Amino acid sequence: MKAQLLDAWGGPLRYGEYRDPTAGSGEVLIAVRACGVGLTVVNYMSGRLGRPESLPRVPGHEFTGVVVATGPGVIGVRPGDRVMSYFYLTCGRCDLCRSGREPLCRNHGGYVGVHRDGGYAELVALPEANVLPLPDGVPFVGGTVIPDAVATPYHVCASRADVRVGDRVLVIGAGGGVGIHMVQMARLFGGRVVAVDRDDAKLEHCRRLGADAAVNITAPDAHDRARTALDGGATVAIDLVGSRETLAWAFGLLGPGARMVMLTTFEGAGLDVVARQMVMGELTLLGSRYCSRPEVLAAARLVRDGAITPVISQVAPLADVEGLHGLLRAGSLLGRGAVTIEA
């Protein structure tokens, strides 16, 4: 098969022909049709999620495709099924998995594309538990946003921030792959959304997708403009950038009783919290980590039904994926990118 292989954390990809994988016991072999390209891939290629012994590795965790074979013990998937991936390698047996909190699995085995090969390849073998049905009518390219870029916002809005009608929702990093779907999801849950980014073109797209206001964070009066748009303060603030500056920026815009959600895990990024402000405002700080399998399926139904529009601004063949990585590093990619693989 043809694939992109990462030999060293932080190093370049090597495109070439490699041995085809096979489906072992409890595994499914998938012919990849498309794979999403977002900042999560670029970040974990730098080594932030991996271990030295897990290289070389085929990256890519948001992929769609068709089942071509199943190994012994597989009972819920058949050849010919249209499928998508689930990012986390979880046990499915511990108390947290069984209670629907799979991202907190006590026996977490790592990540697809990091601790076992992912979707930057013509073929990939995964445990059956990491293979979920792609709804009929959802194109392979459009479906690549579901497993992360749409399902993560669903988890935030439904399970963590509990976004509801009348909430004033601040989204920082709104033009990125997760952010632009977060704008849509928060709107779908009834929130009035203020989108914040550095790029005016991205912000205009956020407006077209339902943001009630958009603020360029580089403007001298950006903080004041955001506060005005939020009617004095956010009831929900979602930071997708994860820097010390953006965390402080969001915290300073919280209104009474607000919930602030943090999703990034960069080392060294932190927030100075004033206890008096937390108490007097009855504020809530929340971490949010990926999503459960049922939440991925719920996100898929929203895309199928047209409630969420996939935003994929650049599509390239697998051989040219590094060009998409360059756009991501430059901050110029609207939403997600995707690579395609011919059947």
- Structural domains of the chain sorted by starting position, each given as residue range(s) with its CATH number in brackets: 2-147+291-340 (3.90.180.10), 162-287 (3.40.50.720)
Helices (H), 145-191: 151-155, 179-188
Q: How far apart are CA 96 and CA 103, in angstroms?
A: 8
Q: How far apart are CA 175 and CA 25, in angstroms?
A: 41
CA 124 vs CA 53, 60, 132, 203: distances in Å: 20, 10, 14, 36
Residue 288: both structure tokens together: 């949010």
0.85 surpassed by pTM: yes
Among residues 120, 191, 193, which one has the least CA distance to residue 162? 191
H or E, element range at 123: strand 123-127
Q: How far apart are CA 210 and CA 9, in angstroms?
A: 38
Indicate the SS3 state at residue 339.
strand
What is Dmax (Cα atoms) for the chain? 61
Q: How far apart are CA 86 and CA 297, in angstroms?
A: 10
CA 322 vs CA 7, 20, 157, 314: distances in Å: 15, 22, 32, 12
Q: How far apart are CA 219 and CA 78, in angstroms?
A: 53
Backbone angles phi, psi at 96, to 5 degrees: -70, -45
CA 336 vs CA 234, 299, 318: distances in Å: 27, 16, 15
H or E, element range at 295: helix 293-304
Q: What is the pLDDT along the chain (343 residues), one digit of tens a residue?
A: 999 999 999 899 999 999 999 999 999 999 999 999 999 999 889 887 777 788 899 999 999 999 999 999 999 999 999 999 999 999 999 999 999 999 999 999 999 999 999 999 999 999 999 999 999 999 999 999 999 999 999 999 999 999 999 999 999 999 999 999 999 999 999 999 999 999 999 999 999 999 999 999 999 999 999 999 999 899 999 999 989 999 999 999 999 999 999 998 777 778 888 888 899 999 999 999 999 999 999 999 999 999 999 999 999 999 999 999 999 999 999 999 999 998 7
- Angle at alpha carbon of residue 263, lines to 262 and 264, rounded to 5°: 110
